[in-house]
Amino acid sequence: MSKVRVLVGTRKGAFILTSDGKRERWDVVGPYFTGWEIYHVKGSPADPDRLYASQTSDWFGQIIQRSSDGGKTWETPGGEKMPKPGELPAGLSNRFVYDTSAETGKPLTTHQWYDGTQHPWEFKRVWHLEPSFSDPDTVYAGVEDAALFRSSDGAKSWHEVAGLRGHGTGPKWQPGAGGMGLHTIVLDKSNPQRIFIAISAAGAFRTDDGGGTWKPINRGLRSTYLPDQTAEIGHCVHRIAMNQKRPGVLYMQKHWDVMRTDDAGENWREVSGNLPTDFGFVIDVHAHEPETIYVVPIKSDSEHFPLDGKLRVYRSRTGGNEWEPLTKGLPQAHCYVDVLREAMAVDSLDSCGVYFGTTGGQVYCSNDAGDSWNAIVHDLPAVLSVEVQTLS
């Protein structure tokens, strides 16, 4: 029987939740990296036992952790085993090497805000880790300040995919409210040379040659806070999702608006439809139904909690425009949690499971594609990310 492994990153450590294919009873292990912010944990599609975790601290900085046994043990790649709490790891995984600009041949060291002031480009943290479909040692990292890195040696060393910042618009990218982070990396399984990324607040970008050259893909986006509301860059994209069966169709949760493209990002159109509010952070696609998508509407960009204190996932079975609220098992009164951009995922079992975590420390699971929900764990630290592995 298949098993499911849910990888949860929180503000105070990582947790691993496992269940059989019924997804009714769960084992909880953790916390790993107690007391540390774990921005993202993700497993390799090429090796279910290979996991990567982004561990960060204002005191010790950024560290990448790796497991080769499904999370039972962890190591800092290139260094010693995981240190004791409070000790600084001796590994090499903080060596993120910025490369020169593809256009000028010089490192990009500053970016310019709308007021014309120059700000230094700083390495702050890794927001997102995206392992390759074919090689467990190859993994991408999206960082703040926004840049894309790649490791081909299991996270021992990292080098910038310099074409992204170097393609021309990089110096003009702006930070969103949470920083200038590259938070979404979507790989195309059918075309290894194609990668989609999203940056808050710059927009979405695509490469068709493995990262050598990039183009903004923001046509159709409109942001009222921009001097030019339909500008090529500057849009605060919160999340992009794809079903690998239809890699040209992507869905986007923007700062405001839910969007869809049918031509790999060349043109976007709004599909917010009858949502009660189209602000939110997460978006995901059913594993087997490319037209079925999920969002969690949040009241507004200044009030990060569900509308009317009712936690509702909304599902569209038509690729947008028409949405239905999913509430069975979710709190419908006095609920003021948030659901952050990395905190939703789906499994690939026959009855697709949908999962999301909240800043209140709950992780919810639906084993029937959203019709009903159950909190599979309570009272964790605030959840930053949720990822799922379906194991044979």
Residue 43 domain boundaries? 3-391
Average pLDDT over residues 26-36: 95
**Band of residue 83 on the pLDDT scale cut at 50, 70, 90:** very low
Tell me the backbone φ, ψ of residue 237, rounded to 5 degrees. -85, 130
Residue 158: C-alpha distances to residues 43, 140, 150 (Å)? 18, 9, 6
Residue 32: C-alpha distances to residues 95, 180, 184, 307, 364 (Å)? 23, 27, 24, 33, 20
Structure tokens at 167: 């393609």
Query: pLDDT tens digits, residue range 195-209?
Result: 999 999 899 999 999
pLDDT at 113: 63
Indicate whether 369 pLDDT > 90: yes
* CATH code of 176's domain: 2.130.10.10
10 Å CB burial of residue 351 (0-12, 13-18, 19+) is middle
Average pLDDT over residues 343-358: 97
Average pLDDT over residues 178-201: 95
Q: How many residues does the chain have?
A: 392
pLDDT at 77: 87
Provide the domain count of the chain.
Answer: 1
Indicate whether 170 pLDDT > 90: no
In this structure, of 78-92, 193-207, 238-252, 304-318, the range with the lowest mean pLDDT score is: 78-92
Indicate whether 6 pLDDT > 90: yes
Residues of the chain above pLDDT 70, percent? 91
pLDDT at 102: 52
Looking at per-residue pLDDT, the higher value among 172 and 380 belongs to: 380
Say whether 207 sits in a helix, a strand or coil.
strand
Question: pTM for the whole thing?
Answer: 0.93
pLDDT at 114: 59
Indicate whether 89 pLDDT > 80: no
Average pLDDT over residues 268-278: 97
pLDDT at 92: 43
Indicate whether 44 pLDDT > 50: yes
CB count within 10 Å of CB 378 equals 9
